[in-house]
Amino acid sequence: MAREFKNYIDGKWCDAASGKRFENRNPANWEEVIGTFPDSNAEDIDRAVKSAATAYDLWRLTPAPKRGEIIKRAGDLLAYCKEDLAREMTREMGKILLETRGDVQEGIDTAYYAATEGRRLFGYTAPSELPNKFNMSIRQPLGVAGVISPWNFPLAIPTWKIFPALVCGNTVVFKPAEDTPATAARFVEILLEAGLPEKVIQLVNGFGPSAGMPLVEHPEVSLISFTGSTPVGKMISSVASKDLKRVSLELGGKNAQIVMADADLELALEGVLWGAFGTAGQRCTATSRLILHEAIHDKFLATLIKRVEKLRLGNGLESTTDVGPVINQKQLDKILSYIQVGKDEGAKLETGGERYTDGACRNGFFISPTIFSQVTPEMRIAKEEIFGPVLAVLKIKTLDEAIRVLNNTKYGLSSSIYTGEVNAAFKAMRDIEAGITYINGPTIGAEAHMPFGGVKETGNGHREGGWPVFEFFTEIKTVFVDYSGKLQRAQIDNQ
C-alpha cells in the first residue's frame, strides 16, 4: 500500500482540511505509486500562513549566526542522507542518479554557503554631512515568505529559496510542485531534525490554482519566490502587485550554445550532449538551440547525431541509463506537439522525434533524444521553450550573426559560446542578452555562491544564489544617530 504523506502546518503533520488526496507516481514506470498527498486549498494555506506569522517575532530575534548554525546542521544531514535522497528523487521525477546526487549536493553547497551568510548580513556605514551624527544601514527580514518551487530540481531549488529566507529571519510557507512532493516532505523533516523551530517552516501540498494562488493572495504573506513557467510567473506578478508584495520570478529559457570555427569541437560536443539531453532537456538552462559556424556545421552535426543515437533511455536508477523520462503525460504531449511543429515548419528531423516504448520503458514517459537541422531563427522551435530533449540546430556565418540569432527570443537565461579567440569571447560576454554566459562550457552548471537568473521574460530582475538572494529576502533600514545634543535639520542646516 502506498505511503500516505501529510502537510506540516502549525507544528504538526496533518491532512488537508478537505480530506482530499492526490497520487504521485514514478514517470519511468507509471504503475509505481510513490505515495498519496494532501490536496490542499485556501483553508490549509490560511492556517499555515497564520502559524508562520506567530513564529516570526521569535525567529527574527534569533541572532542571524544562530539561524545559520541550524542551516549548517541541515547541510550536514543532507550530506548524510545524500544517497537515499537521490534514489527517492529519481523514483519521483525520473532523472538519472548521477543528476539527483548532484541535485542533493547543490542543496548541501547552498546550506553551507547560506550558513556563513548568517555572519555576513552586512549593512553600510557612511559619513554624515553634519557634525556629531552617525549614518548606517542594516538589513532586516520582511515576515512570512511564500515559496513555490518546480519539479525538475525538487531539492536544490527549494534550498536556494528557503535557506536564505530562513537565515535572513523570515518564516516560510512552502508549496512544492505536485509532481515532487515526497522530496519536499523529506526536506522539511531534515530542517526540523536540524533544530528549526517547528512553526518557522510550513509545508502545504497541492496544486497551483487551489493552493499556490491562495498563498500568493494571502494578505499576511510579505514576499513570494517562484520558479516555473513564464505565463504562471506573469499571473503571480499581477496578483501579488495588488498588495505590493515583493516577488522574485525565475521563469523560462530558450538557451543557446554557439560553436565557432576555432572551437575545441570535442569539448563543444560534450557540452551540447550534456546541456541538451541531461534531465531529458527539462532544465530552465537546458541547451535548446545549437548555433554552428558554417565552416564546422556539417562535420559537427554528423558527429553529434551519432553520439545522440547511442544515448540509452531507461530508469534513472539503472547505471546504464543516460536519459530518463519526462515528468508526465501532459509534458510528453507538449513535447511531441512541438516536434510536429518543427516538421510542419520545414525543419529537418535528423534523429529521434517519437515516444520511446522499448522494453522497460513501455510504462514510462520517454522521448527519443531529438535533433532538428535546417532550423531558421523565426521558427517556433527556435524561439519557444519546449522543456524536453529537443535540440534545434541553426547555421551562421559570423560571430555577429550568431549573437543576433541567440538574442532572437523573448527569454534570456543562460548562454554559451565555444571559441579559442579571446576577443570573440569578450564580445559575446558583452553582447549576449542573458543573465548567465559560459565561455567554453555548456549552458548548465550553476554554482551556489553565484547569482542565478535571467533577463527579458526569464524573470523580473531578482537573482537566486549568491549574495543577491539575501538582498531579496531582507529590507534595508537606514539609521541616523545624532549625538550632538541639539536639533540638526539636515540640508536646512547644511546650506
**Per-residue pLDDT reduced to its tens digit, 119-147:** 999 999 999 999 999 999 999 999 999 99
- Predicted pLDDT of residue 248: 98
54 pLDDT above the threshold of 80: yes
284 is catalytic: yes
- Predicted pLDDT of residue 286: 98
Q: Which residues contact 483 (CB under 8 A, 6 or more apart)?
A: 132, 133, 134
**Per-residue pLDDT reduced to its tens digit, 331-359:** 999 999 999 999 999 999 999 999 999 99
- Predicted pLDDT of residue 493: 83
Q: What is the mean pLDDT of residues 398-402?
A: 98
1 pLDDT above the threshold of 80: no
Structural domains present in the chain: 3-251+459-478 (3.40.605.10), 255-439 (3.40.309.10)
Catalytic residue of the set 88, 106, 178, 284: 284
- Predicted pLDDT of residue 121: 96
Q: pTM score, two decimals?
A: 0.97
250 is catalytic: yes
Mean pLDDT of the chain: 97
- Predicted pLDDT of residue 495: 77
Confidence tier at 444 by pLDDT (50, 70, 90)? very high
488 pLDDT above the threshold of 90: yes
**Per-residue pLDDT reduced to its tens digit, 162-217:** 999 999 999 999 999 999 999 999 999 999 999 999 999 999 999 999 999 999 99
Confidence tier at 105 by pLDDT (50, 70, 90)? very high
Confidence tier at 474 by pLDDT (50, 70, 90)? very high
- Predicted pLDDT of residue 2: 87
**Per-residue pLDDT reduced to its tens digit, 243-270:** 999 999 999 999 999 999 999 999 999 9
Confidence tier at 240 by pLDDT (50, 70, 90)? very high
Catalytic residue of the set 250, 385, 457, 464: 250
CA angle 401, 405, 407 (to 5 degrees): 115
- Predicted pLDDT of residue 49: 98
CA angle 404, 410, 412 (to 5 degrees): 75
- Predicted pLDDT of residue 64: 98
